[in-house]
Chains A and B, each alone.
Chain A
Amino acid sequence: MSTARTDDRGPQEGSKGLVAFAWTLVGIPLVYGLYNTVKAASALFTG
């Protein structure tokens, strides 16, 4: 077995844009769902 480890010395610059894009893509529906659920849940305190 190889003894030299592939140590993570931090992400490459180019990958940061892709990470931001990926998080935005999953974040938008998540925020949409959260907003609608909080709106529905608020009826518990106002309805």
Chain B
Amino acid sequence: MAVPSFLARERIVAKPGFNRWLIPPAALAVHLSIGQAYATSVYKVALVEHFNASLTEIGIIFSLAIVMLGVSAALFGTWVDKNGPRAAMATAAVFWSAGFIVGSLGIFTNQLWLVYLGYGVLGGIGLGIGYISPVSTLIKWFPDRPGLATGMAIMGFGGGAMVASPLSRQLMNWYDDDYTGAAGEVASGNSVGFLFLTLGLVYLVFMLFGAFIVRVPAADWRPHGFDPATVKQKSLVTTENVSANNAIKTPQFWLLWTVLFCNVTAGIGILEQAAPMIQDFFREGGTSAVAAAAAAGFVGLLSLFNMAGRFVWSSTSDYIGRKPIYMVYLGVGIVLYIGLATIGSSAVWLFVALAAVIISFYGGGFATVPAYLRDLFGTYQVGAIHGRLLTAWAAAGIAGPLIINGILDMQGEPGNLVASDYRPALFIMVGILAVGFVANLLIKPVAEKYFEPKPTDVPEAASTTGDRSLTR
């Protein structure tokens, strides 16, 4: 599928002297926008009342978006790698924005199926393409610090919800005089419709700005003083390239899929349940020592650690290596989960500290995985491989809540649960992390038979479009 020439990869090859520090804000412009997907709880109840629907029916909108994220990232990853970041970012901007606009139409005309189609399907495609759009470009611009580069972008995805939550409350307050944003208040459906319309337009401009400033490095570009040979000296880091189609035939891809699945499943277990969990852990005689406002503060604190972990841990992986950092995420995660299950209810500060570090590992796992893929499979189609790996996220998004909600349903009624009711679920998470730990241990360098043939005498334009003249 061809793209208009002004979006094409060969039109955005950077000239000598280009400042590579322009690429992270381009990536952040996209990730800060699509990170809104984590802020949907702000207007969820307003949609339930507007459509006179159940929470489950409204929940489908967001589940659809996450499923479409996984599907589109997997399906369009190769297209993204081939056509470059400007085409991908612009496409993501159009889909993400169209999702909001069609969704707002559904709200104004009281047709829920239009919101499914808009935010769920169109928006979900924008999410998937947008999420992977800057990844391979960042890795190519920062061969010396790939963890730092992808950490910065994927940190934006965590930050997007932090921006969208208060912004949405503020906008709904403007569009609905009776809504102040206080706990327990519900905005009118029309104000959510106008919110969607506004977000659709704002995100379109913001993401297109990212698309406008993004550039790809020339095929032979290197950062000053960077010697690729120094990277090769680290174990598991290849200077070869593996195509996306070959990558999924390797055990390394599926081991890493398992690692990501386990890390995300364990983190989602806490994230999904954060506010009621802290109240339940400190409930005595039917009353919790943690007030609802403090529980909401705990959710805010977890978002901060989720975002910070993406940047800090991913950057750290540049120094200690990808495999060791996942041993920390999963191995230390096991210890922290056991601590949460056994001594977590002894003091609020201890519970908060354990949960905060666990969530920082959850964020770190997302942000470090593109650099791990680069190490194993090279840069050739790392965006496409990353897209396929994100199916682990979609699967964990189903498994994590299923496990924790299923166990808690067996233990008793919400509002009457106590710390011990969480123990079975927490120990299951320990088992899941142990599986991930073993999978990570089993990751070895990719076999030579999967490597792409070496390009020889390739004209620059051909090599930058991903078309290769190949000889052994």
Contact = CB atoms under 8 A, between A and B. Distances in A.
Interface of A: 1-2, 4-12, 15-16, 18-19, 22-23, 25-26, 29-30, 32-34, 36-38, 40-45, 47
B184 interface: no
Nearest to A22: B25
Interface string B295-316: 1111111011000000000000
Contact of B18 (A2, A15, A22, A32): A15
B21 A6 contact: no
B29 A25 contact: yes
Contact of A41 (B25, B32, B213, B304): B304
Cβ-closest 8 pairs across A and B:
A44-B297, A33-B162, A43-B297, A11-B19, A33-B163, A47-B293, A40-B300, A41-B300
Interface of A is mostly: helix
Given A12-B19, A15-B18, A26-B29, A44 B163 contact: no
Interface string B5-43: 000000000001111111001101100100000000000
A19 B235 CA distance: 35
B301 A44 contact: yes
A29 B222 contact: no
Nearest to A12: B17
Interface residues of B, number: 49
Contacts of A6: 16, 217-218, 220-222
Contact of A4 (B28, B220, B296): B220
Given A18-B213, A19-B22, A47 B300 contact: no
A30 B159 CA distance: 7
Interface in B182-221: 209, 213, 217-218, 220-221
A25 B294 contact: no
A37 B458 contact: no
Given A6-B218, A15-B22, A1 B456 contact: yes
B406 interface: no
B163 A47 contact: no
A16 B19 CA distance: 8
B460 interface: yes
16 contacts: A1-B455, A5-B220, A5-B221, A8-B16, A11-B17, A18-B22, A22-B209, A22-B213, A25-B25, A26-B29, A26-B156, A29-B32, A30-B156, A30-B159, A32-B163, A47-B297
Nearest to B14: A6
A19 B223 CA distance: 17
A43 B293 contact: yes
B458 A1 contact: yes
Given A37-B300, A37-B303, A37-B304, 11 more contacts: A2-B220, A6-B220, A15-B22, A19-B19, A22-B29, A22-B209, A33-B164, A34-B162, A40-B297, A40-B299, A43-B294
A47 B352 CA distance: 15
Contacts of B243: none
Contacts of B160: 33
A46 to B, nearest CB: 8
Given A7-B224, A33-B163, A34-B162, A26 B32 contact: yes
Given A2-B460, A26-B156, A30-B159, A8 B224 contact: yes
B193 to A, nearest CB: 23
A15 B17 CA distance: 9
Nearest to A2: B220
Interface in B85-109: none
B165 interface: yes
Contacts of B220: 1-2, 4-6
A36 to B, nearest CB: 4
B470 interface: no
A19 B18 CA distance: 10
Nearest to A28: B163
Contacts of B217: 6
Contacts of B298: 41, 44
Nearest to B460: A2
A41 B457 contact: no
B8 to A, nearest CB: 20
Nearest to B220: A5
B206 to A, nearest CB: 8
B103 to A, nearest CB: 21
Nearest to A5: B220
Nearest to A15: B19
A43 B293 CA distance: 6
Contacts of A40: 296-297, 299-300
Contacts of B32: 26, 29-30
B157 to A, nearest CB: 12
